[in-house]
Structure 1
Amino acid sequence: MTRLESTLKSELDLHLGDYNLMLLLTESETGCMRMGELAEAMVFSPSRLTYQVKILENRGLVRRERSDTDARSWIASLTKEGRRTFRKAAILHVRDIETFFTAKISDEEAQIIDTVFSRVQDQLLSES
């Protein structure tokens, strides 16, 4: 984790948590998420997520706006600069994943890992 974060930090001044938050926003169907949903997906407390989003908002990477449908809710989305920064971060992150992990295992080992973690995921999803 330290190695993965090191590249993001030195190249883009991002923490791995910043990258994960931006990834969730990028992958969301609408390009934005309610703060409560984002906190749950990040496994953060609402106050911790608010702090994290505020830092990214101050850097111009994320925007927070009141929900059109629920005045009590806030919606987070990436700004144009946030999307640009995320694209750069994703390239670096994928490169590091390949360097530190996937280049070190065979295709057969990767299949075993996929099988095991798919089973674990299925079990966790069936319990929720």
Structure 2
Amino acid sequence: MDTPWLDDQQQRTWRAWLAVTELLPRTLDAQLQRDAGLTHAAYVVLAMLSEAPDRSRRMSDLARTANQSQSRLSHTVARLEERGWVRRERATEDRRGNVAVLTDEGWDVVQRVAPGHVAAVRDGLFAALTPEQTDALEQALGAVLERLDPDHTLRVPGVG
């Protein structure tokens, strides 16, 4: 049976994608470690909480919006709780689930760290692209997202 290998362009694109998905998170982690002693995954949790009504989300919703498994999110939130930046509460509507809440101290961290993070994202990704390339990247990533998540259950609302 013949294997349909990647053609040369697909191979170059795939390897560039692999490199970017390794190097960009490393760059963002370094900035966040330097500025706040945070991992990128922890910052995403804080950011998703900061954008939510009342700065709180059900843990299951937070896992989806932060692109983390329930287990990984639980560990991340535990570390943020230790720092006083997040607290967990019982969901008021059904008392079955837990809600993560961004504390005032956590809100202060987000406000302090966000400008540097935005600058790192802009420098690490968008500074290398023209507006046309940014449009093409958005369209390409949207198409891949649609293929990976056709029923839109895995992605953050408003993405793709």
Q: Which band: TM-score by shorter chain?
A: 0.7 to 0.9
Closer, same or farther in 2 for the Cα pair 1:102/1:52, shift >3 Å?
same
Q: 2:68 maps to what in 1?
A: 44
**1:17 is aligned with what amino acid?**
A
Out of 2, 11, 14, the position equivalent to 2:38 is 14
Rg larger for = 2
1:109 correspondence with 2:133: yes
User: Across the two proteins, how many residue pairs are aligned to each other?
Assistant: 128
Question: CA shift at 1:125, angstroms?
Answer: 5.0
Task: Specify whether residues 46 and 31 from structure 1 end up closer, same or farther in structure 2 by C-alpha distance, changes over 3 A only.
Answer: same
Distance in 2, Cα, partners of 1:33 & 1:19 = 15
Q: Distance between the aligned counterparts of 1:14 and 1:83, measured in 2? A: 14
Letter of the 2:125 partner, please give it.
F
The Cα of 1:113 is off from its aligned counterpart by: 1.1
Offset at 1:50? Answer: 1.6
**112-121 or 96-105, which deviates more:** 112-121
RMSD: 1.9
% identical aligned pairs:
30
Aligned with 1:34 (options 58, 68, 73)? 58
How far apart are residue 117 of structure 1 and its match?
Answer: 2.1
TM-score of the aligned structures, taking structure 2 as reference length: 0.71
Where in structure 2 are the equivalents of 1:86-105 lying within 5 Å? 86-105=110-129
Task: Identify unmatched segments of 5+ residues in structure 2.
Answer: 1-24, 153-160
Q: Quote how far apart the aligned CAs of 1:108 are.
A: 1.8
When residues 35 and 89 of structure 1 are mapped into structure 2, their CA distance, relative to the original with a 3 A threshold, is same
TM-score by length of 1: 0.86
Tell which deviates more after alignment, 40-49 or 98-107.
Answer: 40-49
Q: Give the Å deviation of 1:40.
A: 3.1
Instruction: Give the aligned partner of residue 66 of structure 1.
Output: 90
Q: Which deviates more, 53-62 or 39-48?
A: 39-48
